[in-house]
Amino acid sequence: LERTQVINFNSGPCALPTSVLEEAAKGLINYKGTGIGLAELSHRSGYFGAIVNDLAALIRTQLDVPPTHEVLFTQGGATGQFSAVVLNLLARHRLLYPELTDEERVMDYVVTGNWSKKASEEATRLGGGVVNIVTDARTVSEDHKTFASIPPHGSFQFSKKPAFVYYCENETIDGVQFSTDPKSSASFPWEAIKEEDFVPVVGDYSSSFLSRPIPDIARHALIYAGAQKNLGPAGLTVLIVRKDCLVDTDAAAKLGAQPVPITMDWKVIHANNSLYNTPPMFAMYVSQLVLEHAQSLGGMPAITLMNERKKDILYEVLDEGAAKGLFRLRVHKDSRSWMNQTFHVLGEGKEELFLEQADKAGFKALAGHRSVGGVRVSLYNAISEEQTAVLVNFIREFIKQNAA
């Protein structure tokens, strides 16, 4: 098949703009007339240093990152940060409160889907503190098994002075996302976190990074994201860290905290301009090109509008199917993800039929995550409005043919 014959709705790694990949392919062979490919240059060269600085600057501009925060790059995926968050922020807590026992160091996890659940399990596994599940969205779903909405603010049980509060802004597997509207019942309950306590709040933004603005960056200790959705190829992890969270973890270890592996130590990454060890150069190069491309389309305001229209037309047709009894959408309206739309096709053999016909028509990777089944569309930045409309037409036709 040709690239133009398919639309790739994979949840990650996902589609990237074709023009960017064509340019990246040229740079991979011969970077800026050096006669050497990008992946063959020294990461200490001026050429690559410029990419690191430019990539950080582009992220800063597009997301309006405040001067209180550093933009850093590392490896190990988002999963690497499940561990790094625990180690760095427990070290910070140890430096601030050396007198506390491990049982008194509480890590608050807001569990709204499979990824935040997984992150909380890693915190339990690493120890050094205890995990408090602030809320578990499964307890408020109809079947008590699925993650179907952001729970009501009243159900969030934060602890008093936690080492940190952790949440996942967009749950890629379940399709549950916090709303950016502070008036929405699905917004993050910032009102429950006292600013004067300076509690570090950590947000996993892996699957919504750069899809729309992040309204409360300043209130976060860390926002992090694996690159492989809206940014670039896998292998790169972006950190936006508040400066007071870059702590001397060796000093904390002397007070009894767990030593932090050097490649996970945020202060070390920062002190070395994200070049402590050889970085994922190609992923960073492609990410730079993706952001330049995004800038040329009008930057965050244009991308936000485009993403909003895409998810609106898709949810509209899915709601039509639900009204006719053919679809069941998994997530409540106010908590629906812009990036990942999850639903089931009802009726004997209908879901298989939907996936089979979709695949034949060139719509790829629409099966839901293996742990939850169903159908999942992922409308990341590289999926255009036109491509979304083609899928919507297909779904409308499927409803016509299959609804009772």
Q: Which two tokens stand for residue 374?
A: 């169903």
Residues 6+ apart with CB under 8 A from 372: 114, 146, 173, 174, 330, 342
CB of residue 206 to ligand PLP, shortest distance in Å: 4
Q: Which of 7, 8, 9, 12 binds ligand PLP (CB under 6 A)?
A: 12
CB of residue 168 to ligand PLP, shortest distance in Å: 5
At 320, phi and psi to the nearest 5? -60, -45
CB of residue 261 to ligand PLP, shortest distance in Å: 16
8 A C-beta contact, residue 394 and residue 315: no
Among residues 248, 339, 231, which one has the least CA distance to residue 289? 231
The CB density around residue 22, as the number of other CB atoms within 10 Å, is: 10
Region from 140-148, 174-182, 184-192, 199-207 binding ligand PLP, contact rule CB under 6 A: 199-207
Q: Which of 135, 172, 177, 287 binds ligand PLP (CB under 6 A)?
A: 172
CB of residue 77 to ligand PLP, shortest distance in Å: 3
Q: Does 175 participate in binding ligand PLP (rule CB under 6 A)?
A: no
**Which residue's CB is nearer to ligand PLP, number 252 or number 379?**
379
Region from 28-36, 201-209, 212-220, 315-323 binding ligand PLP, contact rule CB under 6 A: 201-209
**Which residue's CB is nearer to ligand PLP, number 27 or number 335?**
335
8 A C-beta contact, residue 319 and residue 53: no
Q: Does 204 participate in binding ligand PLP (rule CB under 6 A)?
A: yes
Q: Which of 129, 162, 226, 233 binds ligand PLP (CB under 6 A)?
A: 226
Q: Where are the beta strands (DSSP E) in 227-367?
A: 237-242, 327-329, 340-345, 363-364
Q: Which of 149, 207, 211, 381 binds ligand PLP (CB under 6 A)?
A: 207
**Which residue's CB is nearer to ligand PLP, number 174 or number 395?**
174
8 A C-beta contact, residue 223 and residue 203: yes
Residue nearest to ligand PLP (CB): 77
Residues 6+ apart with CB under 8 A from 345: 321, 326, 327, 351, 353, 354, 374, 375
- Number of shown-chain residues binding ligand PLP (CB under 6 A): 11
**Which residue's CB is nearer to ligand PLP, number 122 or number 216?**
122
- CA atoms of 86 and 77, how far apart (whole Å): 15
CA 91 from centre of chain: 25
**Which residue's CB is nearer to ligand PLP, number 79 or number 384?**
79
Q: Which of 8, 206, 211, 378 binds ligand PLP (CB under 6 A)?
A: 206
**Which residue's CB is nearer to ligand PLP, number 115 or number 398?**
115
Q: Does 168 participate in binding ligand PLP (rule CB under 6 A)?
A: yes
Residues known to be catalytic: 115, 204, 229
Helix (H) or strand (E) holding 292: helix 281-296
- CA atoms of 168 and 223, how far apart (whole Å): 10
Binding track over 362-401 against ligand PLP, x by CB under 6 A: ----------------------------------------
Residues 6+ apart with CB under 8 A from 348: none
CB of residue 172 to ligand PLP, shortest distance in Å: 3
**Which residue's CB is nearer to ligand PLP, number 17 or number 77?**
77
CB of residue 146 to ligand PLP, shortest distance in Å: 17
Residues 6+ apart with CB under 8 A from 88: 245, 247, 249, 260, 264, 265, 266
CB of residue 374 to ligand PLP, shortest distance in Å: 17
Among residues 105, 103, 132, 104, which one has the least CA distance to residue 120? 132
8 A C-beta contact, residue 37 and residue 31: yes
Q: Tell which positions 57-96 bind ligand PLP, by CB under 6 A.
A: 77-79
**Which residue's CB is nearer to ligand PLP, number 73 or number 398?**
73
**CA-CA distances (angstroms) from residue 394 to 152, 299, 390?**
35, 30, 6
Binding site for ligand PLP (CB under 6 A): 12, 77-79, 115, 168, 172, 204, 206-207, 226
